Amino acid sequence: MNEKVLILGVSGMLGSSLHRYLSCNTGIDVVGTVRNDDLKNKLAVMGFNNVISNIDVTDDGVLYRLIEREKPHYVLNCIGLIKQLSVSKVHVPSIEINSLLPHKLALVCSELSSKLIHFSTDCVFSGEKGMYKECDLPDTADLYGRSKLLGEVDYGGHLTLRTSIIGHELFSNHSLVDWFLNQQTDVKGFSNAVFSGLPTCYLAEFLMEKVFPSKSLSGLYHLSAEPIDKFSLLTLIKDKYQRETYIEKFPDFRLDRSLDSELIRAEVNWKAPSWEDLIDKMHYEYIEYFQ
């Protein structure tokens, strides 16, 4: 019998990419959730009919009945208020979604014998140091970072992956990649802003190849590629996507939230692909689903 994966929030950048990749894998059964019928219909047009609509994650009863009915082996929580949205600066929804929801899910998953995989962020750190380890004390001062920190689940056999992501969105252009691809004028590339996240499409591949087979993997782990500055990252994207946009090298802004992921690399015997390979994978997804 195939293992079953329930993905909460498949209209966002992370959830939609995990949903696409995992749905195309014959070794697992996948079902995703969205807030309303409109989002479900848009995904159906793209060929994905394994979606449940009208799931209000603030309703504890709805969550319990959903997981009880679907009986997933894994619940992937891809729901979160991202930093680019103004609502992430509002305390009540930020705490409700980013902080409380993961722990509510953990309680339900524990009771119903499912494993929660939750995604946190490098924004729990200030970015003053870089190459942060799991043992480093999170020192963010903003609401977004603090709300995500409070939502980390490192107990009960569940798994939280601290990471950062790039990729393509279905219905907006808030992310770095889509923002860049939509620019008609010159942009600044921050050569002293360091990033170590992963494309969402590769994160899906990592789950399939490394996380799902590692049944005992639990707690809190950093997941990262090799650090790269934003100027170099945008230049790789520009070249692969064949854009003419001029990127001005801008060294004045300094931020380094890079993560050290040696723990999980050793635990699951993994080496991060090169950035050239990661951008190739992201571009393939772009050609396959966004053109």
* DSSP letters spanning 181-197: HT--S-EEEEEEEEE--
| 42, part of any domain | yes
Bridging pattern class, strands 28-33 and 3-8: parallel
Bridging pattern class, strands 159-163 and 115-121: parallel
Q: Quick one: which of 223, 219, 222 has its CA closest to 205?
A: 223
Tokens, residue 44:
């159906």
| 232, part of any domain | no
Tokens 């100027």 belong to 231
Q: Which residues contact 204 (CB under 8 A, 6 or more apart)?
A: 17, 18, 20, 21, 22
Q: What is the pLDDT of residue 189?
A: 98
| 81, part of any domain | yes
* Nearest-angstrom CA–CA distance, 121 and 280: 23
| 132, part of any domain | yes
pLDDT mean for each 10 residues of the chain (291 residues): 93 97 92 96 93 97 98 98 83 97 99 99 98 98 97 99 97 90 96 98 98 98 99 98 97 98 99 99 96 85
* Nearest-angstrom CA–CA distance, 278 and 198: 8
Q: In CATH, what number is assigned to the domain containing residue 124?
A: 3.40.50.720
| 231, part of any domain | no
What one-letter code names the amino acid at 85? L
pLDDT tens for each residue of 63-90: 999 999 999 999 999 999 988 777 888 9
Q: What is the pLDDT of residue 26?
A: 82
Q: By residue range, what is the domain housing residue 149? A: 3-171+197-226+257-275
How many folded domains does the chain comprise?
1
Tokens, residue 140:
């963010």
| 192, part of any domain | no
| 186, part of any domain | no
CA 230 to chain centre: 18
| 243, part of any domain | no
* DSSP letters spanning 235-284: HHHHHHTT----EEEEEEEEEE--B--HHHHHHHT--PPPHHHHHHHHHH
